[in-house]
């Protein structure tokens, strides 16, 4: 008998018909003799609708109350799904995050899970129940309700799978799996059969929305076997695991892009020790995440810095920087946000020189100039103008042989060592 965690996103349970389809799928897995825990998100756009509703009454609501409000979305889904399963003649019980033993740190709107006490789940399994857990929510030691950040239900699923030592955590979504790039942008984007945790983590961080980065991180650290698959088809999906096999001759696994990019430049900064620590310390203290940082050479004792960050944080970051002007004298701060970050990811690039050069050449051939670059062992990211993004992604997809890569895998994971 296997223990399976199945996670269904908001669009998979967005209508009564979809809810019924999901219920059937869960029942099939239960009837096959598995113990099944299910994690669901709020139906359709419920979370966004609740946010809109709150704004009508308070544009800047207390984070605690926001968490109280938003967690209701998932509570609706779990109750309705459990009822649907009962109607189909099977036993199910719905649990809130706290009933399922999910404890978090005392931070509202983006709490991290600190631990899971799964006793209740096992009690329900023993009673023959399918257990339906509300995603995206938990509770602090003091009994306050928290949420895990937008898209946090993936993390709930993976964390539960780790806590109950599930055989697999299946993430059901509205696409067939993880693709070489966004199929809405490049028609010949291909579904990947396998991808490694590290590659998936990069892709998720770099803008591939199919899995939440924190969930992938959690899966990697706890060695949770993840499968991403469609809730509408029986196709096999993509497995995310420690080592994935590369297709013949392919060094880049996927291309991601992120449109939520702004750049801030601080010009004429006096080159004294502690400048970076002061600026980025102040940004961090204000909860602002910074991505790529570039410093120009020093001239006449002054340097320029640029860094990228999420567009939503741009205004706040500019005012934080102005507030440290006394400690960090500078001439000017400027910002722009008509930018995107496009990235190539693949474990194979470690041992293949020239991968970045191919990227730069492909981008320059369509007349686009690269404003910033950052690299890691398995990725290269370029900041470029927001247009023409589609052409850039298409060109890269072709340049790395992803349009035509053979579907045949060479060898097993052990062959790569
Ligand atoms: N309902 C939450 C959101 O929309 C959590 C999730 O979907 O995973 O962000
Ligand atoms: Mg959602």
* pLDDT tens string 84-135: 999 999 999 999 999 999 999 999 999 999 999 999 999 999 999 999 999 9
**What is the C-alpha separation between 359 and 249, in angstroms, rounded?**
16
Enumerate residues lining ligand 1, CB below 6 A: 10, 41-42, 47, 73, 135-136, 150-153
Do β-strands 226-230 and 254-270 pair in parallel, antiparallel, or remain unpaired? unpaired
By alpha-carbon position, which residue is closest to atom 8 of ligand 1? 151
Do β-strands 302-309 and 290-295 pair in parallel, antiparallel, or remain unpaired? antiparallel
**What is the C-alpha separation between 93 and 389, in angstroms, rounded?**
46
CB 197 within 8 A of CB 169: no
Statement: residue 205 has pLDDT above 70:
yes
By alpha-carbon position, which residue is closest to atom 6 of ligand 1? 151
Which residues fall within 8 angstroms of residue 351, CB to CB, at 6 or more apart? Answer: none
Ligand number, closest to the Cα atom of 75 = 1
User: Is it true that 3-245 and 255-399 share their CATH fold?
Assistant: no
Statement: residue 274 has pLDDT above 60:
yes
Statement: residue 416 has pLDDT above 80:
no
Please tell me the predicted confidence (pLDDT) of residue 249. Answer: 66
- Ligand 1 centroid to Cα of residue 147, in Å, is 9
Task: Provide the CATH number for the domain formed by 255-399 in this structure.
Answer: 3.30.2130.10
CB 378 within 8 A of CB 202: yes
Q: Which residue has the tokens 């790569």?
A: 416
Average pLDDT of the segment spanning 44-56: 97
Ligand number, closest to the Cα atom of 110 = 1
Q: How confident is the model at residue 411 (pLDDT cuts 50, 70, 90)?
A: very low
- Ligand 1 centroid to Cα of residue 395, in Å, is 33
Please tell me the predicted confidence (pLDDT) of residue 348. Answer: 86
- Ligand 2 centroid to Cα of residue 14, in Å, is 10
Do β-strands 3-8 and 35-40 pair in parallel, antiparallel, or remain unpaired? parallel
Between residues 246 and 60, which one has the greater pLDDT? Answer: 60
Strands ordered across the beta sheet of 137-139: 113-116, 102-104, 137-139, 145-147
Percent with pLDDT over 70 in the chain: 96
Total-model pTM: 0.86
Average pLDDT of the segment spanning 280-300: 92
Statement: residue 346 has pLDDT above 70:
yes
Provide the β-strand partners of residue 332.
267
**Start-to-end CA span in the chain (Å):** 32
- Ligand 2 centroid to Cα of residue 123, in Å, is 28
- Ligand 1 centroid to Cα of residue 14, in Å, is 12
Please tell me the predicted confidence (pLDDT) of residue 413. Answer: 31
* Cis-peptide, bond into residue 43, ω within 30° of zero: no
By alpha-carbon position, which residue is closest to atom 9 of ligand 1? 150
Three-state secondary structure call for residue 12: helix
Average pLDDT of the segment spanning 172-193: 91
Q: How confident is the model at residue 415 (pLDDT cuts 50, 70, 90)?
A: very low
**pLDDT per residue over 28-38, tens digit each?**
999 999 999 99
Q: Exposure of 62 by Cβ count < 10 A (0-12 exposed, 13-18 middle, 19+ buried)?
A: exposed
CB 228 within 8 A of CB 240: yes
**What is the C-alpha separation between 361 and 347, in angstroms, rounded?**
21
Name which of 14-18, 186-190, 196-200 the model is least confident about.
186-190
Please choose, from the candidates 188, 195, 222, 225, the residue with its C-alpha nearest in 3D space to the C-alpha of residue 210.
195
Provide the β-strand partners of residue 139.
103, 145
Please choose, from the candidates 218, 212, 87, 232, the residue with its C-alpha nearest in 3D space to the C-alpha of residue 152.
212
Q: Which atom of ligand 1 is nearest to the CA of 154?
A: 8
Between residues 247 and 156, which one has the greater pLDDT? Answer: 156
CB 109 within 8 A of CB 188: no
Residue 103 CA, chain-centre distance (Å), reads 21
Please tell me the predicted confidence (pLDDT) of residue 8. Answer: 97
**pLDDT per residue over 221-264, tens digit each?**
999 999 999 998 999 999 999 887 766 667 899 999 999 999 99
DSSP 152-182: THHHHHHHHHHHTT-SEEEEEESSSS-BSS-
Q: Which atom of ligand 1 is nearest to the CA of 136?
A: 5
Choose which residue among 10, 137, 159 to substitute to test ligand 1 binding: the one with the highest number of ligand atoms within 8 A of its C-beta. Answer: 10
CB 397 within 8 A of CB 180: yes
Please tell me the predicted confidence (pLDDT) of residue 356. Answer: 94
Structure tokens at 149: 């950040």
Q: Exposure of 147 by Cβ count < 10 A (0-12 exposed, 13-18 middle, 19+ buried)?
A: buried
**What is the C-alpha separation between 387 and 296, in angstroms, rounded?**
26
- Ligand 1 centroid to Cα of residue 132, in Å, is 16
Please tell me the predicted confidence (pLDDT) of residue 410. Answer: 33
Would you list the domain boundaries of the chain? 3-245, 255-399
Q: What are the two backbone dihedrals, phi and then psi, of residue 255, each rounded to the nearest 5 degrees?
A: -125, 125
CATH 3.40.640.10 given to domain 3-245: no
Ligand number, closest to the Cα atom of 14 = 2
């Amino acid at each position: 008998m296997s223990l399976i965690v199945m996670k269904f996103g908001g669009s998979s349970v967005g209508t009564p018909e979809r809810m019924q389809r999901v219920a059937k799928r869960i029942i099939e897995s239960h009837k096959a003799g598995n113990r099944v825990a299910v994690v669901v998100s709020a139906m359709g756009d419920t979370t966004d609708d609740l946010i809109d509703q709150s704004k009508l009454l308070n544009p800047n609501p207390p984070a605690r109350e926001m968490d109280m409000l938003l967690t209701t979305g998932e509570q609706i889904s779990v109750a309705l799904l459990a009822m649907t399963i009962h109607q189909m003649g099977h036993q199910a019980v719905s649990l809130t995050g706290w009933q399922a033993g999910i404890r978090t740190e005392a931070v509202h709107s983006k709490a991290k899970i600190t631990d899971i006490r799964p006793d209740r789940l096992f009690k329900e399994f023993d009673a023959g129940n399918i257990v339906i857990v509300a995603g995206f929510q938990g509770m602090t030691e003091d009994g306050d309700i928290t949420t895990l950040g937008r898209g946090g239900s993936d993390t709930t699923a993976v964390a539960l799978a780790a806590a109950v030592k599930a055989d697999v955590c299946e993430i059901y979504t509205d696409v067939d799996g993880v693709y070489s790039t966004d199929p809405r942008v490049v028609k010949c984007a291909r579904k990947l059969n396998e991808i490694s945790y590290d590659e998936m983590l990069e892709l998720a961080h770099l803008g591939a929305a199919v899995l939440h980065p924190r969930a992938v991180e959690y899966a990697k650290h706890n060695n949770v076997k993840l499968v991403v698959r469609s809730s509408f088809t029986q196709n096999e999906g993509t497995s995310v695991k420690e080592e994935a096999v590369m297709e013949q001759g392919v060094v880049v696994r996927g291309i991601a892009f992120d449109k939520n990019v702004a750049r801030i430049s601080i010009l004429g900064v006096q080159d004294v020790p502690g400048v970076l620590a002061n600026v980025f310390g102040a940004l961090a203290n204000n909860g602002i995440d910074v991505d790529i940082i570039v410093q120009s050479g020093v001239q006449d004792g002054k340097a320029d810095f640029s860094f990228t960050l999420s567009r939503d944080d741009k205004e706040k970051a500019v005012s934080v920087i102005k507030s440290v002007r006394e400690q960090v004298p500078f001439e000017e701060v400027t910002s722009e946000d008509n930018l995107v970050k496009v990235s190539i990811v693949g474990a194979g690039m470690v041992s293949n020189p020239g991968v970045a050069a191919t990227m730069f050449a492909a981008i320059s051939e369509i007349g686009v100039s690269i404003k910033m670059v950052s690299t890691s062992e398995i990725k290269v990211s370029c900041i470029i103008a927001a247009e023409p993004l589609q052409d850039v992604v298409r060109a890269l997809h072709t340049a790395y042989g992803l349009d035509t890569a053979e579907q045949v895998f060479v060898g097993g994971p052990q062959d790569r060592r």
